[in-house]
Structure 1
Amino acid sequence: QTVFTCLSHDIIVHETTHAVLDGIRTYFSERTNPDVPAFHEAFADIAALFRHFSHKEALLDTIQKTGGRLYQYHLKPDVGITDNEEARLQGQLPVDNPLVGLAQQFGEARGTGRALRSALSDLPDPKLIKEPNLEPHERGAILVSAVFDAYFTIYLRRTADLFRVYRAGGGNSESFELSGAMANLLADAASSTAEDLFQICVRAIDYCPPVDITFGDYLRAIMTAHRDFYPTDKEGVRDAFMQAFRLRGIVPEDAQYFSEDSLCWPLVPRKVLPDVDGLIFGDPNGLTRDEKDRNGDVLRAYAKKNAALLGFLPDRFISVPAFHPAFRVAPDGSLRIDMVVEMSQTYDALFDSRKPELGTFPMRGGVTLLIAKPSLDKDEYPPGEIRYVIQKRLGGNHGQKREERQRRFSRREGLLNGDDPKRFQLDFNMLHGGF
């Protein structure tokens, strides 16, 4: 069966997200560990799946056919049958939940009889993440299921009072039959929750280290991004993410404890780092070319002058591959403006010190800086204050462990062969060969 993928909403969103993520994070497509390709696939799936909840008609239909239990795999058939009766009509057959299935038609056309991938996995298995031979889509599915576990947990918390009132009014919450008013309220809750969580997932990208992304890094970024805007977590959003990731064995390597305080990146104490003078934050329309050039000069000079404080190796070039202003409306209605900056440093590491003829691979470290735009003072803007420094160091024990891990990964992936530097980059044609 021919399927025109250009007409598939899910596939278009998925592929566009790849391009957007690659555009805003320079080194997220460099193959340094198994989580890198898996993260790209997972984030693209997350974007496509959350868009499902913006389609009101499909959302209402699914709510009516699941009794509001949106996490169910299958919908109630349009026509019921008895236990001893076989289905004779298509309306008597259960169908898959369209909200949790990705690229339903494409998957069915491949002969699998189901969607290409799902927002939900089988029972969470913390051992699965340690399997070294998982294909990137399979590994990415672990992250997707963790995010949607958190989503459905928060959805259930937000709708718990609705179901209590519904039952108090004589409604049966165990039944699939819901009143129109109840279904609309649940649809509004599901849609707004999806929008809220997708914003958290997107905002977290700004709180990730610039190189060598792992699922554990992303959990820390999610936690920090949410706490940065919502210090008091009344709905338990951060706890929902923590437990969903923990159930699947996703634990940051460098967090001392699995607690909220330990998982969130720490704020930079005042005066530990000098403020950044001369930075242009622009407006929501973006920066001009001249403003970008000036900011680049300012940031490179700052990195060179404060290399040791930022955790860089001495006497090595520090690049600033990307930066962008982020304009966000805080819960109190105020506008918060940060400059999100990537800085990186690279050296060529030998695949084998005993056999230098085998060549080298690029070993990168770096920091993500979040620099707050200061308030106007006497008609002038003072220097910007650095709020977060999110690091992946090259030096020290952590840097040595990362180098050895990347060396083993490169060998396993066959990256020793050839001299084309592009072999270290993700090849999305090859990656999508397995869909």
Structure 2
Amino acid sequence: MKRFVSDYATRAAEKRKLRIYATDPMSGRRAPYRITVEVDNEPELSPGPVGEIVEVIDYDGWNKKFYGAVDLNDPALLMESGLAPSESDPRFHQQMVYAVAMKVVESARRALGRPINFRKSSTRTKLRLVPHAFCGKNAFFDPDLNAIMFGYFQADAVSPGPNIPSQTVFTCLSHDIIAHEMTHAIVHRLRPYFIEPSNIDVLAFHEAFSDIVALFQRFSYRELLAEHIQTSQGMLQKSEMLVELAQQFGYAAGRGKALRSAIGKSPKLAETHEPHDRGAILVSAVFGGYFDAYQKRIADLLRIATGGSGQLPTGRLHPDLVNRLAGEASQLAERFLRMCFRAFDYMPPVDVTFGDFLRALVTSDFELNPQDSDEVRFSIIEAFRERGIYPAGVVSLAEESLLWPSQINGQPPPVDAGLLEDARRFLNYSATALDQGRIARRSRSRNKSESATSAYESTVIETDEAEAEVGGDRLLRDGLFSALTHYARFNLDIFGLDPNLKVAVVGFHAVHRITSDQRLVIEFVAQFMQIDEQTRERFRGIPFRGGATVIFGSEGEVRYIASKPMKSENLPPEFRKAATARLHATDLCLEELDRRDPMMAFADEEYLENRMKLRAQFRALHGEG
């Protein structure tokens, strides 16, 4: 008999195993594409599944019926890692969307170092996933409904590819589509104004970033990587199956190929303006950097395996070599995925461009890996350069030039002692909310009806349409909000903003990460925004916005400023020039979208007056795929 009871023996499991299609049912006919993934275990997961931040509501909008909800806490399903993959069982469809969605959330949470939630209001606290929302060739995130709607459709009767002619294809069974739409929801939560088409990069960025996350999420499945490393002789970029997105959707729609690919033709950025085509260039740039870094990373393994020649023999590779290569590819993909998510902490709050993303990538990775001994940042910068992606306002593509500056119009003062103290208290809330294991174990002995701190509790002040919340401490939230607004008002010109316009705090959060040399990095990230309401008529429903993301160090000093200047006579000429260029970019974006919009031929007056606002919708962005 034991004298002591160990927490090890009584705590709930931290992970839950669930079976999914690694790509989609078309590829999932083969065993390697039916895999088991681990997601964070939610002990109180209800049938649906309904968890703390997402809930699956399986209402079939076309047939007007609800499907029975899967109970993933059923003992039989717990023993079997959930339901087996099935195209015909709606309960597996529910399991599939939940599992992939939670994998994407987990990736974002690890990279950002803070919880992710999708609270829209007191009545819409969770993101809804609707696997059979409508009949149609589309799937989209709807911010107003706080839901991701998945469609289903019949495959092309003449050219269905490997599908049966006219078979029903479910977008909710495509790993890539689920991850893509879930990323849209996360990006919109992090930067709600990145859907407004203020320049031709904005909509393309949303699409490209969602594709990037979907692909890198797939690269995290080592058994799948091993399969393709074996067939491609270690050259992952030559494996079409691995770098193509939504294959079943593309073939079933009669395209004769996957919906999109991470490789292929990469025209210069100036040569295309359509959001999906332009976004494909950004995807190609990120994966070009990844494949170059991967080849450098495995060069020593290839030399060892080939006696120094570096030329692998024909035939199947040795299993040990395949496993090592798969491990390197998976670890590198995880680093790239973290870099991409972390970049959001270093991007301006509005009017994003591909160049801004490059600067944010370099700055965020520099903070954690200043030496860059494996030249990952160099590979990324070169890949962007080859595709004609150049940031505005830099003198060269040298790393030190791409880092965001710490001052752009004079030296900004550090925050005062009171604001710094509140920010440090706020940091404690963030750290507590990230303690997933302790919260999960504690929840086992807690009655469901009791009020409790959620494992995914928001630790971000956001003053968009959602309710702002900070660890349930309203006084702390109000104090921070007031102090940040006061600080911004006295430093608007230093951040490139108009001293004569009101300023809003649209985001604040704390960051704590471990660097490559095991140092703890603590930063506070604030987002400030201004609006020129007089431009709504000029830009057909959307105003001209300016803003700045300001990164403060642990002592309250300003470390980086990512600014989108306003046009003001009170600012230096370089700021006015940058603002004028931004205004011109919005005019060009309006002209380009008008040129490609079929609605312009028969639109009524209301549409013409608000067309840019109406275009700022994910459903409109996706169209038919």
Q: Which residue of 2 aligns with 1:433?
A: 623
Q: Secondary structure at the match of 1:389?
A: strand
2:451 matched to 1:308?
Answer: no
Partner residue, 2:241: 98
Match of 1:175 among 314, 319, 344: 314
Amino acid at match of 1:402: R
Q: Deviations over 1:275-323 (max 9, x none)?
A: 1132423232233242322211111111112222222112210011112
Rounded Cα–Cα distance in structure 1 between residues aligned with 2:204 and 2:343: 17
Picking from 571, 575, 593, the partner of 1:413 is 593
Aligned to 1:296: 481
> What one-letter code is carried by the residue in structure 2 that aligns with 1:369?
V
Measure, in 1, the Cα distance between the counterparts of 2:243 and 2:350.
31
Q: Could you tell me which residue of structure 2 aligns to residue 213 of structure 1?
A: 352
**Out of 491, 511, 525, which is 1:326 matched to?**
511
Shift of 1:237: 1.2
Cα pair distance change 1:350/1:215, threshold 3 Å: same
Q: Structure 1 pair 421/120, CA: closer, same or farther in 2 (3 Å)?
A: closer
Alignment of 1:56 with 2:222, yes or no, is: yes
Report the TM-score when normalising by structure 2: 0.60
| Structure-2 change in CA distance of 1:369 and 1:350 (3 Å) | closer
Residues 253, 429 of structure 1: alpha-carbon distance in 2 compared, 3 angstrom cutoff: same
Residues 172-194 of structure 1 deviation map (CA, whole Å, 9 limit, x = unaligned) = 51424210000000000000000
Q: What is aligned with 2:271?
A: 131
CA contact (8 A) 2:219 2:225 kept: yes
Taking the aligned partners of 1:203 and 1:359, their CA distance within structure 2 comes to 33
1:213 Cα deviation after fit: 0.5
SS in 1 for 2:511: strand
Structure 1 counterpart of 2:123: none
Shift of 1:258: 2.3
Aligned counterparts, 1:76-225, within 5 A: 97-122=240-265, 124-126=266-268, 129-131=269-271, 134-168=273-307, 173-225=312-364
Size of the aligned set, in residue pairs, is 394
* Secondary structure of 1:34's aligned partner: coil
Q: Are positions 1:337 and 2:477 aligned together?
A: no
Query: 1:26 touches 1:321 (CA, 8 Å); kept in 2?
Result: no
* Structural mapping, 1:256-275, within 5 Å: 256-268=395-407, 272-275=411-414
Contact 1:349 1:360 in 2 (8 A): no
Among candidates 551, 554, 559, match of residue 373 of structure 1: 554
> Are the aligned partners of 1:147 and 1:244 in contact in 2 as well (CA < 8 Å)?
yes
CA shift, 1:373, in A, is 2.4
Q: Secondary structure at the match of 1:232?
A: coil
**SS of equivalent to 2:169:** coil
- Displacement after TM superposition at 1:252 (Å): 1.1
Query: Once the 2 structures are TM-superposed, how far is the Cα of residue 261 of structure 1 from its aligned partner?
Result: 1.8
Alignment of 1:29-40 (within 5 A): 29-40=195-206
Counterpart amino acid of residue 159 in structure 1 = I
- C-alpha displacement at 1:26, in angstroms? 2.5
13-22 or 403-412: which moved more? 403-412
Given that 1:30 and 1:424 are in contact with CA atoms closer than 8 Å, whether structure 2 keeps it comes out as no
Question: Tell me, what secondary structure is at the counterpart of 1:320?
Answer: strand
Other structure's SS at 2:255 match? coil
SS for the counterpart of 2:298 is: helix
Within the candidate set 383, 396, 401, 2:581 is matched to 401
Structure 1 residues 174 and 143, CA, compared in 2 at 3 Å: closer, same or farther? farther
Larger RCO of the pair (alpha carbons < 8 Å, separation 6+): 1
Q: What secondary structure, in the 3-state scheme, does the structure 1 residue paired with 2:526 have?
A: strand
Listed one character per residue, the Cα deviations across residues 210-267 of structure 1 (whole Å, up to 9, x for unaligned) are 1110111111111111112222121111111111011111111211222222222123
327-336 vs 31-40, which deviates more?
Answer: 327-336
Q: Is the 8 A contact 2:200 2:275 kept in 1?
A: yes
Between the aligned partners of 1:398 and 1:171, the Cα distance in structure 2 is: 49
In 2, the alpha carbon distance for the partners of 1:301 and 1:39 equals 32
CA contact 1:216–1:251 (8 Å) conserved in 2? yes
CA separation of 1:174 and 1:41: change in aligned 2, threshold 3 A: farther
SS in 2 for 1:222: helix
Contact 2:263 2:287 (8 Å CA) reproduced: yes
8 Å CA contact 2:542, 2:613 repeated in 1: no
Q: Residues 100 and 119 of structure 1 are in contact (CA less than 8 Å); yes or no, is this contact kept in structure 2?
A: yes
The corresponding residue for 1:227 is 366
For residues 108 and 421 of structure 1, the distance between their equivalents in structure 2, rounded to whole angstroms, comes to 32
**Maintained 8 Å contact 2:495/2:561:** yes
For residue 185 of structure 2, what is the aligned residue in structure 1? Answer: 19
Q: Which of 545, 548, 566 is residue 364 of structure 1 equivalent to?
A: 545
Give me the whole-angstrom Cα distance separating, in 2, the residues matched to 1:293 and 1:425: 34
Residues 1:407 and 1:172: Cα distance change in structure 2 (over 3 Å): closer
Cα contact 2:541–2:610 (8 A) shared by 1:
no
Cα pair 1:3 1:109 within 8 Å, conserved: yes
Hey, what's the Cα distance between the residues in 2 that align with 1:43 and 1:150? 15
Amino acid at match of 1:14: H
Are the structure 2 counterparts of residues 173 and 434 from structure 1 closer, same or farther at C-alpha, using a change threshold of 3 Å?
same
The amino acid that maps onto 1:304 is R
Aligned to 2:465: none
Determine the C-alpha separation between the residues in 1 that align with 2:315 and 2:582. 51
Shift of residue 385, structure 1, vs aligned partner: 1.8
Q: Is the 8 A contact 1:10 1:49 kept in 2?
A: yes
Separation in 1, partners of 2:614, 2:390 = 26
Distance 1:183 1:275 in 2: 51
Classify the secondary structure of the residue corresponding to 1:233: coil
Deviations 1:302-351 (A, max 9, x none): 11122222221122100111122222121222322222111011113458
Unmatched runs of 5 consecutive residues or more in structure 1: 74-96, 375-383
Superposed CA deviations along residues 388-434 of structure 1, whole A, max 9, x for unmatched, are: 11111013111112112212322443499544487166211111114
Structure 2, gaps ≥5 residues long: 1-154, 156-167, 434-458, 460-469, 568-575, 595-599
2:511, 2:522 within 8 Å by CA — same for their partners in 1? yes
Task: Name the CA distance, whole Å, in 1 between partners of 2:586 and 2:312.
Answer: 51
Letter in 2 for 1:114: K
> Any conservation in 1 of the 2:540–2:612 contact (CA below 8 Å)?
no
Q: Tell me the percent identity.
A: 40
Calculate the TM-score normalised by the size of structure 1: 0.85
- The aligned residue for residue 44 of structure 1 is 210
